[in-house]
Amino acid sequence: MFLLDILRRSARSLLSAKARTILTAIAIAVGAFALTLTLGASNGARSYGDNLIKTNFDPTELIVSKDKSIFSNSDNSQPQVYNPSFGNITNGSGAVTQVQMLSNSDLARLSQTKGVSTVRPSISIALQYITRDGQRKYVATMEAYSAYKKPALLAGNIPTAIPQRSIILPEGFLQALGFSNAQSAIGQNVRVAVQKQVNQSSIISSLLSGNLDSLSKTSTQPTSTETVFKIIAVTQKPSSLIQPGTALYLYSSNADVVALNDYSTQGSANYHKYLTAYVQVKDGTNTTKLKATQARIIAEGYAAQSVIDTEKTLTQVINVLQGIVTVFGLIAVVASVFGVINTMYISVLQRTREIGLMKALGMHKKDVNKLFLFEAALIGFLGGFIGSMLGLITGTLLNPWISNKLSLGGAHLLQFNISQQVILILALMLIAIIAGLMPARKAAKLDPIEALRSE
């Protein structure tokens, strides 16, 4: 018997029991629906991770720290041995933690490491305020601009080497600083203020020596300085999917940021100390050279992380979350397997005389076996197709709502891949075929004479 004839007969058998076929297919569709959304969310999360890394990390750079706990969870239950390089960092809850910091001598040592091109400290300055004539003062954060960021611009342009006393203003500050539009801000001046921390060393020294007269007003009260910057570009507000939490970052040249940081930290424990540094590797696009330089830096006692390491960390988190959600979809698929087995057994019992007649007319056992396996495969296809389509439609409809709620702009959190859906449907068909093996085997083994005698 030809395969096409067997397929047609299988389809007719399923159509003759529409209700039972649809209910069994729906059981499979539930699992297919869950797995489709899981795959879509996984694709979106991976896209998020890729875009996050591309817009925040230079693939030719290594992030280097003197304290290994920066890149990994460390045991804080035991006291740390004092190190003169300790500096203070404050976490989100306001707790102060002491970690080993990089110094200028560390930066010089790193720059002399074989394979290293340039070294720049990672500095983020909490400005006292930013303002311009006739406008209110606003708090802000400033960082050194790096060419790999490539932000979308509303106006102006960013040269390869940013001139000193130049600033890149985010879109969010336009209205606050009194600009009617982005173009009107180009070439205008703003004033940036940083506050010098209290000179703790001087105060402690005077107190210990008992020389209270030496405590001047300038040493006990914080002072600040204003610097005039010229706006050269205005950046468009990025999607939070691409640059979460960085919409109001100001960017300037590395020299200006270093100078402001030195002023604000002079006399404090964090003067000329940096949590991390960006180390650019010569020919860093070559993975072998990047890893070799990373190994040399680690051998010198530093902690170093590459973009590849960061991607692995993000991928690991995504894989864990994907695995958890996938389990729920697989539970529904496993439940549907019993539904397929039950449906096929009922079909065999109801069609016992039909099977006996087909075998009496010369139909081989293997053809009877194929007939029921094809029916199982069709049920798997129907359930997989319905579930996948419902998942695709639901995801497509939910994407704008999710993007709006999470402020993702034009980015979509659920991203579907047609090839993945095809593989999913084929996998569900295979699972349905496996579920139908026992009923098909039972049908193939029926004795035609006994089958024709059945009522």
Percent composition of the chain: helix, strand, coil (DSSP 3-state, to 5): 55, 20, 30
In the beta sheet, which residues pair with residue 248?
none
What is the spatial distance between Cα 377 and Cα 25, in angstroms, rounded to a whole number?
Answer: 11
**Residues 44 and 168 reside in one and the same domain:** no
Cα–Cα distances in angstroms (integers) from residue 235 to residues 79, 123, 324, 330, in the given order: 45, 20, 38, 45
**Residues 120 and 202 reside in one and the same domain:** yes
Position 92 scores a pLDDT of 47
Structural domain that includes position 325: 3-52+314-453
Position 423 scores a pLDDT of 92
Query: Taking the chain (455 residues) in consecutive chunks of 10 residues, what is each chunk's mean pLDDT?
Result: 71 79 87 89 81 77 85 62 62 60 91 91 90 92 83 88 92 92 94 78 54 52 85 81 60 91 83 89 89 92 86 77 78 81 79 74 78 87 93 90 73 86 92 86 73 61
Domain boundary (307, 335, 370) is at 307
**Residues 134 and 178 reside in one and the same domain:** yes
In the beta sheet, which residues pair with residue 120?
278
378, 9 contact by CB (below 8 A): no
Cα–Cα distances in angstroms (integers) from residue 433 to residues 6, 348, 372, 428, 430, in the given order: 15, 15, 9, 9, 5
Domain boundary (263, 281, 307) is at 307
* Angle in degrees, 0-180, between the axes of helices 418-435 and 307-350, rounded to the nearest 10: 40
**Residues 261 and 350 reside in one and the same domain:** no
Position 93 scores a pLDDT of 47
Domain boundary (289, 307, 325) is at 307
Position 180 scores a pLDDT of 92
Position 388 scores a pLDDT of 93
**Residues 229 and 342 reside in one and the same domain:** no
Fill in the DSSP letter of residue 30: H
**Residues 430 and 334 reside in one and the same domain:** yes
